[in-house]
Structure 1
Amino acid sequence: MDSAVKNQALVDALVKNLPEDANEAQVSEIFASELFNFLGFEVNERVPNFNTRSGTDPVDHALRHNTENDIFNQTKTNPDILVELKKRNLNLAPGSKGYKDTFKQIKRYLLAENCKTVKWGIITNANHIQLFRKHGKVIHPATVCLEINPENIIKIATLVKEKIYRPQKALTVAVYNKKGGVGKTTTTVNTAATLSLLNKKVLIVDFDPDQRDLTNSLAIKPSQPSFNQCLVNESINIRDVIYPYKRKFKNLQKEFGFDVIPIPLDEPLEVWHEDKLRQEIDVTKLSEILEPLKNNYDYILIDSSPNWRIFSQSAIYAADVVLIPTKHNNFFSLENAAAAIKKYIPEVQRKRKDGGPLILPIFFNGEKATEAQMKDAKSHINQLIKDAKQDQNNKFDLLPYFYPRYTAANKNMKIFELPNYASIGKSAFSNVPAVYKDKMVREYYKSLVKEYFLL
């Protein structure tokens, strides 16, 4: 079937064939079948009612291209894409109950036992469609939830197809809190080191020019050209400002490391002056220059500035997800996390118009907490959640960002914690990530990457 025929068949599915009140079976038979044709999947590359091993209900469709000796609808193994369908009159508009329930459903399927190879999830009712990307245990939007009509269906389906067939390897993570002193740099460096120990290829970016703590903590002394020059001069290749950080340790019996984009410690602060930079770049620039690197790494971690200026805005814009460290004994860090979640990051989401970045739940970073202190912290968090829900100008549900395990049936208020451990901070003075030196610290950070990133 040539492309013109596929295009017309997909349009006809909406215009001529699909009833306005189509049930789920009709959406599947009339619309989804033509969508799958358009996306390039033959009939024997589709499995309806695929058993994900997540509860008793199967996902509506699984897709994967055949290989020479593996016909997908015969072997029913290693799917690439899961598709969850809904009846046409179910409200899938962003923010609706139908949307929230369907997102939870596709997320559960994507993380299920039988779906370890899955990279994409699609939800649609033939009025709306959204594509999600799976990277490890992170499920983040690859598009916004798009409204479908006969005039735009080819454009939207083409966008989905291009995303699926041109995937990017890296997950880009901005480590951010508008409050300083919460351990963003420590988190960035030790998370990168931990991922490297798990055989992941990692790039970290120092994008806090006021402090340059990341560059300093690793004792990197970059020469010309500099990162700043790369931002403002398109003729400079981003790869020319990347520095390898490698260390060989006897206790690990192997060399480990990651790549770094540093900021020269002796570079005048004037070249990073915000007014000057805004004349030459905007918040999209960091994303643009990192784009060619995204198939060279498994993870790109950005150490963001503790403010809401061009540096932090650019880091958030470039990210797939945002990781927010806080301190249980620093209420300002909790308030700034709430402000970032409720106000600042949504500004970038609206500008990007692709559904990203995804905001990950907060965690408590590296402070010993007494029972009384934890009680006070959660009391403060509860007030932040209550205030956000009652804000008449911008009602917002902060609950899943502070208590991600909380449900109506299970009122679990657990917040992930990195314990206080002296060698984490002390290692910065030796210019070596703590996870490379201390077994207990390695276990702490392994728990963090498993909590947020790895299955």
Structure 2
Amino acid sequence: MGRASEGLPRPERTRVMVVANQKGGVGKTTSTVNLAAALAMHGARVLVIDLDPQGNASTALGVDHHAGTPSIYEVLVEGRDLAEVVQPVRDVEGLFCAPATIDLAGAEIELVSLVARESRLQRAIAAYEQPLDYILIDCPPSLGLLTVNALVAGAEVVIPIQCEYYALEGLGQLLRNVELVRAHLNPSLGVSTILLTMYDARTRLASQVAQEVRDHFPDEVLPTAIPRSVRISEAPSYGQTVMTYDPGSTGALSYLEAAREMALRGVAKAKEEV
């Protein structure tokens, strides 16, 4: 499948976005791959970096990541060039993936003894010469060295928040870590985007949670919430994002709209800073 829509303004420089939430099951990987595919279908060149040892983003993008595949592990631990491990995503023009293999599970420990262990991903991205509009980094659901590498490499943090009980639980810890990284390692880091996921319009709880998150983060929450959807959860088992698996579904249309909002916000913010 090609591109659904052209015409979104492209960022003046690559936006490196870290998709993080140490709480599992909030739609983090799902949001990473679907936002990336939606941006590419809007005409952008997008790289997904899979930093989660489970490799779910690689699976959803239909990218080979069996043991022995050149992966982000070799980039972080062995200093291999990022360009050597990036693969094009078969179904979506302009979308690429640096896959994760199971080797990455040991990287947390192996990184500890390495020089400049927090900035290895940042250096790899800086040396990558292919033109890109967006890099989306899918973090593991923890706050270890892999996530720290992502936060040092990125400028923007994207936080998916599930519209269910305890939605804001654990968020304080993530925000404190973002602050710590900003203070000590990456002064340009900030939370730019909060995406409400698994929204069920039929329940009062979902609208209460959504309102609570919007009250806490009025400037960061995207207007479009991602609905609870069987199609979204089915797509990865076919090695696809929902954008190609069922492009007309409410889930695909919501991610397409959220990606558009994210792109337009970035351009507006860049203009403010000029």
Q: Give me the whole-angstrom Cα distance separating, in 2, the residues matched to 1:422 and 1:240.
A: 35
Supply the distance in 1 between the matched residues of 2:210 and 2:238 (Cα, whole angstroms). 35
Of residues 196, 203, 207, the one that matches 2:47 is: 203
TM-score using structure 2 length: 0.81
- 1:439 pairs with one of 243, 248, 259: 248
| Contact 1:362–1:415 under 8 Å retained in 2 | no
Residue 127 of structure 2 aligns to a residue whose secondary structure is helix
- SS for the counterpart of 1:363 is strand
Query: Following the alignment from structure 2 to structure 1, what is the Cα–Cα distance between the partners of residues 211 and 169?
Result: 12
Query: Secondary structure of the equivalent of 1:334?
Result: coil
**CA-atom RMSD in angstroms:** 2.8
Q: CA deviation at 1:224?
A: 4.6
Which protein is richer in strand relative to its size?
1
**Deviations along 1:412-451, whole A, 9 cap, x unmatched?**
x996411122211111111111112322333211211122
Distance 1:340 1:264, change over 3 A: closer
Post-superposition shift, 1:305?
1.3
| 1:430 to 2:265 alignment | no
Q: Does 1:374 align with 2:189?
A: no
For 1:195 and 1:379, locate their aligned partners in 2 and report how far apart those are by CA, in whole Å: 27
What corresponds to 2:143 in structure 1? Answer: 308
Instruction: For residue 205 of structure 2, give the secondary structure of its aligned residue in structure 1.
Output: helix
| SS, match of residue 157 in structure 2 | strand
State the partner residue of 2:226: 418
Task: Specify the alignment match of 2:218 in structure 1.
Answer: 403
Deviant stretches of 4+, over 3 Å: 222-226, 378-382, 413-416
1:451 partner letter: E
Q: Any unmatched runs of 5+ in structure 2?
A: 1-7, 268-274
The separation in 2 between residues aligned to 1:380 and 1:446, in whole angstroms, is 24
Matching of residue 280 in structure 1 with residue 124 in structure 2 = no
Q: Deviations over 1:227-258 (max 9, x none)?
A: 21222223x222111111122xxxxxxx6351
Asked if structure 2 preserves the Cα contact closer than 8 Å seen for 1:326 and 1:337, the reply is no
Amino acid at match of 2:198: G
Q: TM-score, length-normalised on structure 1?
A: 0.51
Please state whether the residue corresponding to 1:429 is helix, strand or coil: helix
Q: Which runs of 5+ in 1 are unaligned?
A: 1-115, 118-134, 137-167, 248-254, 386-398, 406-412
Amino acid in structure 2 at the alignment position of 1:183 = G
Structure 1 residues 230 and 280, CA gap change in structure 2 (3 angstroms) = same
- Residue 347 of structure 1 pairs with residue 180 of structure 2: yes
Structure of greater Rg: 1
Q: Is the 8 A contact 2:60 2:239 kept in 1?
A: yes
Aligned to 1:323, the other structure's residue is in SS state strand
Verify: 1:291 aligned to 2:126, yes or no: yes
Q: Describe the shift of the 1:294–1:347 C-alpha distance in structure 2 as closer, same or farther (beyond 3 A).
A: farther
Q: Is the 8 A contact 1:361 1:403 kept in 2?
A: no
Query: Residue type matched to 1:171 in 2?
Result: R
Helix, strand or coil at the partner of 1:293: coil
Residue in 2 aligned with 1:226?
A: 71
Residue 18 of structure 2 aligns to a residue in which SS? strand
d(CA) in 2 for partners of 1:170, 1:414: 20
Report the Cα offset of residue 346 of structure 1: 0.5
Q: Structure 1 330/453 Cα, relative in aligned 2: closer, same or farther at 3 Å?
A: farther
For 2:43, give the aligned amino acid: N
Q: How far apart are 1:374 and its partner, in Å?
A: 3.3
Query: Structure 1 residues 169, 375: closer, same or farther in 2, change over 3 A?
Result: closer
Q: Larger RCO: Structure 1 or Structure 2 (Cα < 8 Å, ≥ 6 residues apart)?
A: 2
How do 1:31-110 and structure 2 match up within 5 A? Answer: none
Determine the structure 1 residue equivalent to 2:97: 260
Instruction: Work out whether residues 77 and 110 of structure 2, in 8 Å CA contact, stay in contact via their aligned partners in 1.
Output: no
Number of residue pairs matched?
A: 253
Q: Which of 157, 161, 168 is residue 326 of structure 1 equivalent to?
A: 161
Q: One-letter code of the match for 1:350?
A: A
Which whole-Å CA distance do the structure 1 matches of 2:98 and 2:75 have between them?
11
* Cα offsets for 1:252-272 (capped at 9, x unmatched): xxx63511100224x474x32
